[in-house]
Structure 1
Amino acid sequence: MDFSLLGPISVATGSGELALGPAKRRSVLALLLLQPNTTVPLEQLIDSLWEDEPPEHARTVVQGHVSRLRATLAGGGAEAYGIELATHGSAYLLRLPEELIDAHRFGELVALARPEAAPRDAVPLLREALGLWRGPALTGTVTSPPFAAAAHALEEQRLTATEALARAHGALGEHEQAAAILYTAAVNNPLREGMVADLMRALFRTGRQSDAMEWFHRTRRLLDEDLGVGPGARLKQAYEEILRAEEAGNAVAAAATPAADGPAGAAPRAARSGAEVPDRPVDPRVPAQAGSATGGHSGTPARTNGPPPVPHLLPRPPARFLGREQQLATLTTVPQSALPGESPLAVVTGPAGVGKTACAVQWAHTYAGAFPDGQLFADLRGFNEGAAAEPVEILRDFLLALGTPPERVPTSAQSASALFRSLVAGRRLLVVLDNAESSAQVRPLLPGGPHCATVVTSRSRLDGLVATDCARPVALQALGADEGVALLGAMLGAERVADDPDAARELVALCDGLPLALRAAAAQLTARPRWRLARLAAALRDERRRLALLSAEDTGVAAALRMSVARLSADDARLLSALAASADGHLNASVAAALAGSDPQRIQDGLDRLTEMHLVDEESTDVYTISTLTQLFARDEGPADGRGER
């Protein structure tokens, strides 16, 4: 299944194109494809579909179009491709592998091309990219400002790729091809001065000096008549370079004399063919790879004489790390079990405070030697205060760590992602992506090389990565009684725990076996060396004080749970608050529906989402548990922390 934005909006399958219906329905699909794997609010769809004041029934119209699109995609076999058009409250999300969108493939091909550094490879890449265009972008959508702006942005990318293709031909000495490519584009974009400047240079290098000069004067007249301005610096620079080259060529021709053993009238080759015009004035202070002829960049790092840098970005190993032997062993098997050509990927998941980051970092330090080309680490801030990290922000840090000069780092996530994959394709590299919010946030950050491994941690299961990228789930559960007591012993000293073993086991139970809670309890006892463990256990029995006691400055169970609940919709946050009223934390869909005052089918969907976020655990079919600490938090905080009500 292929989605097209670079021309008429269409969806192609093995049996033909799907019937998408009227312009507004195509426009809904186009807007979702322009923001794949991202929730698009209903209000944004309405604002984009109606240029004037939308009708009163606009919401119903959009909902109808979404419903028909969902049915059309399902009829075309979307599920087999990992495609889902989902509803999230008053927003919609089109989940799909972005490689199915022609605009995404176009961006990746352009980003991989290096017209100056590797022109012979760049030509087929750029030709393939431009071959994806089937007409003006977003043809068939409504004529509103948002779609006009999006179409203009895509067209700008096409022109940039056209200029890059011409530069690649020029670097190969194929100036006729460069001139032919630029001629048609310049005719259609006569005021694009950089393109005209490149065309002038290409024409001059083919011996068509008069045509090059005519383009300058033609563009100068258009600028004056249409905009009331004169030529810009790049256009004047090309004009002056050609004039200087002509004068130099004439001077050489006038001074030339026939060679003693050559034919009469023979002139030096430079005088016969015309002096070569450089892409920019030669400045000994500027490195040869500092930029391109059009003032842009290809997104590739400058060449250096030394070996590429080897980044070591892992945080310090976790202190007093114990247990998790099974999960560490599973992580070790992931690179070994990957099929040929695959880039191994593991997803460490579990509830807040269970120690996902510690487990991933511990494994990364243990096996860092298996990745001699470096280890990258990034906190994606998926469950922190504020907004999650944008992929382009993380990619910039990665590219800089890999030696890419700052001015060569692409500004778009697609290009930066393509360059990242290109740089690490042949390296043995480990990437640790901590605290991910969603699969869509992670995908641009995944390396593509078969010798690169990635470990992702998240409170969400990230089923999308499992479906589309064959990620290996590694689930972390709360510690058992013996493991929890061992952690307390490592933090407090074995003798102190041995003096009060029953209280130690009670502390583990009161902390729900969460390493974060146990470490916070250990911090309380470390600060009070005269306290016996039984005294803290007695204090924690008071449910009104328990969450407050299991906090230490900027860390604690309540803070961690707050970040999880903040990512819920308002409906799911209310459901969690209702589940907190369960007497023993064990329930099924019918009990949950009774507590929430809703029908079981709707509650089932909410339970599934809470389970995916590890706020509820599904022990078996229709048997759910909610931990005591989560119940206490939900009772204290109430339902208003959901994203929908903030």
Structure 2
Amino acid sequence: MEFALLGPVGVTTGSGELPLGPAKRRSVLAMLLLQPNITVSVEQLITCLWEDEPPAHARTVVQGHVSRLRAALAEGGADAYGIELATRAGAYLLRLPEELIDAHRFNELLALARPEAAPQDAVPLLREALGLWRGPALSGTVAGPQFAAAAHALEERRLAAVEALARAHGALGEHERAAAVLYVEAAANPLREGLVAALMGALYRAGRQSDAINWFHRTRQLLGEELGVDPGERLSRAYEEILRAEAVAAAPSAPQAHPDPRAHDGLRAHGDPQGHGDRQAQAVPQGHGDRQADGVPQAYGDPQGHADPQARADRSDPARAAQGSPPPDSPPPPAAGHAVPRHLPRPPARFLGREAQLADLTRWITATANGESPVAVVTGPAGVGKTACAVQWAHLHAHAFPDGQLFADLGGFGEGDEAAPAAVLREFLLALGTPPGQIPPSAEAASALYRSIVARRKILVVLDNARSSAQVRPLLPGGTPPATAGGAPTRTESGGGAGCATLVTSRSRLDGLVATDCARPVPVQVLATEEGMALLGTVLGPERIADDPDAARELVGLCEGLPLALRAAAAQLTARPRWRLSRLAAALRDERRRLALLSAEDTGIAAALRTSVARLSADDARLLSALATGSGRQVDASAVAALAGADPDRTRDGLDRLAEMHLVDEEATDRYVISALVQLFARGGEPGEGDASGADSAGAAER
């Protein structure tokens, strides 16, 4: 009897495949197989089977699926293989020899292969491992984040096996075979720079220099068009090595200058492979309100446990790339055998300003006593660029955390449910090299294991979009300050004294985290007028701003200095190159259209505010609505209580909660101010379906 996860989920016996029934039943089996010989609670299964609110009879449905799976396994002769599907007090346990699961056999073969040390043995092992795949992992299960995360992890391991097989062929001098192995995967994953870099190297060593260089130019153009970024260090380094080798072959006696791939192909050089040298601007939001992230920040470890972090990452630390090598006082590289996750989102494109916040983060984290685990909370209203600030700092200081960087979107202010700490811990533990079967199911036990693993490492943890302090605490790494003769912890000579460090972003102030974990609040404010104009200029071009500076200033004011709103306005103007800035400014003056115009597809101010307001209690939502109906933006707590006929103390408490969520600002004692954009949204000014083409209707009004 064999169990399949690497393709359609199924069970095969000597007489054929067992009939498993509908997708939910296959999903129950898949979840049990992903955690073999470990109890899986009914609540976990319900969470996996229903993305939305589960039905009232969900537990009964799960029990029915388990009962039918048990019967199907019995008919297939499960007893003869030592397989049992047992019930354990509100949970289920699939007891079986793990070698019956194709994913387990795949990982075993992958671990046995040593492509550099024993390439002749590695080739058949890796071919056998890749031969176990029959299509996308976990096919036939229900759509949901947990199965998507597990399938992504398995796919990452498959691609790692492909690269390992190519390295084994290369070690044997079979460069054409290495290129053939990589070609299909690079074509299917054109933005995976590691694959393309490996393919370029194989093609060059096979004597196909022009093909290798063409792959670089093709990928560079695609990165620019799709993501707005330059090639990362690994891809740039592969290109430079080819150019250098070509130059040496052409003139072996001449001294060779270090080639710059951007100068060679006409790209504008920015001083580093990813183009961060002279460009600064706020991050472009990627459909999450004010958050900038590319895809899931799910964290997965390297199944082969390579010590070289470049073997596990498509794009390395941009700060290190800009300098060419780590600073002389950087911490030592990680110990061999450690899984080193590099899971930060790509650096913010054209990051602008925020020098004070970046410096504050640096002072707090690098001045921490050796071995301690500092926490900083980057806070601010929706759309202000909190994630961009945190990710920028993380990339600039990644070299100070040689054991890796973990990233998780906690979904505290997203459209869906917030991330459960247990799920995030599982992803982190996988990233740190913990076998899936050794990850405890409870959040408490998983948190303890996580702290134990990172206790002696230097890892940066970025927790984005947190809703509450309680959501964050289980994910904080522990500190291990060393004992000294004087009883005080020491500091590192480099100034980077932190062991692990944590950056948290949230629209809430997370006062609880400040109180219990000495977290450092780092507020991010809206952009000043000149900064906002500079941000518009980075997108639209400085000449367009210079053509109508007064309109640019008005646009910044109408957007209230929020980078997300300014980005959305710039997107409207980018799509309409003949429009003058004054035309959009005139349209934004119409409060009925403003929120619609400051939206771009599924992102924008309305979408960001919607997720903030959705987290309010009913009483606080009513209070915000009452504030929005007033004619002015300044609010006096006593006056609001009197007009509403409400208790003054309860009204003040409500206003404090709104201020904590950055939906109002406290100017002075009992005096608050509400922004025009929040006011418009709370009045019911959110763009509806009739306003979906806000820019077009504005244009019609202007014509």
TM-score, length of structure 2 as denominator length: 0.48
The residue type equivalent to 1:620 in the other structure is A
Structure 1: distance between partners of 2:402 and 2:369? 21
Q: CA deviation at 1:337?
A: 3.1
In structure 2, C-alpha distance between the alignment counterparts of 1:483 and 1:596, rounded to whole Å? 39
Distance 2:599 2:505 in 1: 22
Determine if the alignment matches structure 1 residue 405 to structure 2 residue 453.
Answer: no
Look up the equivalent residue of 2:420 and give its one-letter code: E
Large movers: runs of 4+ above 4 Å: 232-235, 280-283, 301-306
Matched, 1:368 2:416: no
Distance 1:323 1:451 in 2: 28
CA distance in 1, matches of 2:523, 2:99: 59
Deviation at 1:401, TM superposition (A): 0.9
Residue matched to 2:649: 601
| Corresponding residue for residue 526 of structure 2 | 478
Letter in 2 for 1:309: A
Q: Which residue of 1 aligns with 2:629?
A: 581
Partners in 1 of 2:620 and 2:457 — Cα distance?
Answer: 43
Q: Deviations over 1:355-402 (max 9, x none)?
A: 001110111111111111111100000001121000011111111111
How far apart, CA to CA, are the structure 1 residues paired with 2:379 and 2:338? Answer: 33
Cα distance in 2 between the residues matched to 1:416 and 1:551? 40
1:573 CA displacement: 0.1
Residue in 2 that maps onto 1:327 = 357
Count of residues paired in the alignment: 355
What is the rounded CA distance, in whole Å, between the counterparts of 1:281 and 1:308 in structure 2?
Answer: 24
Secondary structure, aligned partner of 1:629: helix
Q: In 2 relative to 1, CA 302–632 (structure 1 residues): closer, same or farther, beyond 3 Å?
A: closer
Separation of aligned partners in 1, 2:601 and 2:629: 29
* Structure 1 position 282, deviation (Å): 13
Describe the shift of the 1:421–1:533 C-alpha distance in structure 2 as closer, same or farther (beyond 3 A): same
Partner SS for 1:605: helix
Change (3 A) 1:533 1:303: closer
* 8 Å Cα contact 2:429-2:450 kept in structure 1: yes
Cα gap change, 1:631 to 1:282, in 2 (>3 Å): closer
Query: Structure 2: how far apart are the matches of 1:477 and 1:469?
Result: 24
Superposed, 1:82-231 pairs within 5 Å as none
- Tell me what 1:350 maps to: 380
SS in 2 for 1:320: coil
Residues 638 and 670 in structure 2, CA contact (< 8 A), matched pair in contact too: no
Does the CA-based 8 Å contact 2:527-2:563 persist in structure 1?
yes
Equivalents in 1 of 2:504, 2:412: separation in Å? 12
CA–CA separation in structure 2 for the residues paired with 1:360 and 1:282: 43
Distance in 1, Cα, partners of 2:574 & 2:636? 41
Q: Is the 8 A contact 1:431 1:454 kept in 2?
A: yes
Matched-pair contact (CA < 8 Å) for 2:405–2:460: yes
Q: 1:486 to 1:348 in 2, by over 3 A?
A: same
Tell whether 2:612 aligns with 1:564.
Answer: yes
In structure 2, the CA distance between the partners of 1:583 and 1:311, relative to structure 1 (3 Å rule), is: same
Q: Counterparts of 1:443-462 in structure 2 under 5 Å?
A: 443-449=473-479, 450-462=498-510
Output the amino acid matched with 1:603. Answer: T
Structure-2 residue corresponding to 1:420: 450
Residues 405, 281 of structure 1: CA spacing in aligned structure 2 closer, same or farther, 3 A cutoff?
Answer: closer
The residue type paired with residue 441 of structure 1 is Q
- The residue matched to 1:580 in structure 2 has which SS? helix
The equivalent of 2:555 in structure 1 is 507
TM-score, normalised by the number of residues in structure 1: 0.52
Structure 1: which 5+ runs fail to align? 1-229, 236-279, 291-300, 639-646
The structural deviation recorded for 1:582 is 2.8
The one-character-per-residue Cα deviations of 1:497-548 (angstroms, maximum 9, x if unpaired) are: 0111000010010001100000000000000000000000000000000000
In structure 1, what is the equivalent of residue 594 of structure 2? 546
Which whole-Å deviations, capped at 9, do the CAs of 1:13-72 have from their partners, x for residues lacking one? xxxxxxxxxxxxxxxxxxxxxxxxxxxxxxxxxxxxxxxxxxxxxxxxxxxxxxxxxxxx
Give 3-state SS (helix, strand or coil) of 1:360's partner: helix
Displacement after TM superposition at 1:590 (Å): 1.4
CA contact (8 A) 1:579 1:596 kept: no
**Shift in Å, 1:304:** 7.0
Structure 2 CA distance for aligned equivalents of residues 465 and 281 of structure 1: 41
Cα contact 1:302–1:404 (8 A) shared by 2: no
Letter of the structure 1 residue corresponding to residue 388 of structure 2: A
Unaligned runs of 5+ in 2: 1-78, 85-96, 112-301, 307-335, 480-497, 687-703
The 5-angstrom pairing of residues 522-541 of structure 1 reads: 522-541=570-589
Asked whether the 8 Å contact 1:579–1:595 carries over to 2, the reply is no
**How far apart are 1:549 and its partner, in Å?**
0.3
Displacement of 1:581: 2.1
CA shift, 1:600, in A, is 1.6
* Alpha-carbon distance change, 364 to 582 in structure 1, aligned in 2, over 3 angstroms: same
Q: Please give the alpha-carbon distance, in whole angstroms, between the structure 1 residues aligned to 2:451 and 2:461.
A: 12
Question: In the aligned structure 2, how far is the partner of 1:507 from the partner of 1:304?
Answer: 51
**Residue in structure 2 matched with residue 622 of structure 1 by the alignment:** 670
Deviation larger for 478-487 or 336-345: 336-345
Q: Is the 8 A contact 1:380 1:433 kept in 2?
A: yes
Alignment CA distance shift 1:316-1:424 (3 Å): same
Identity %, equivalent residues: 72
1:321 deviation in Å?
Answer: 1.3
Contact 2:370–2:499 (Cα < 8 Å) also in 1: no
Question: 1:438-487 CA deviation, whole Å, 9 max, x = no partner?
Answer: 00000000011351010000000000100000000000111111111111
Alignment partner of 1:382 out of 408, 412, 425: 412
In 2, Cα distance between the equivalents of 1:493 and 1:303?
46
Q: SS in structure 1 opposite 2:471?
A: helix
Taking a change above 3 Å as real, the CA distance of residues 519 and 409 of structure 1, as seen in their structure-2 partners, is same
Task: Tell me the SS of whatever aligns to 2:557.
Answer: helix
* One-letter amino acid matched to 2:630: S
CA separation of 1:523/1:595 partners in 2, compared to 1, >3 Å: closer, same or farther? farther
Distance 1:540 1:457 in 2: 30
Q: Is the 8 A contact 1:575 1:596 kept in 2?
A: no
> Contact between 1:578 and 1:595, CA under 8 Å: does it hold in 2?
no
Match of 1:590 among 638, 641, 645: 638
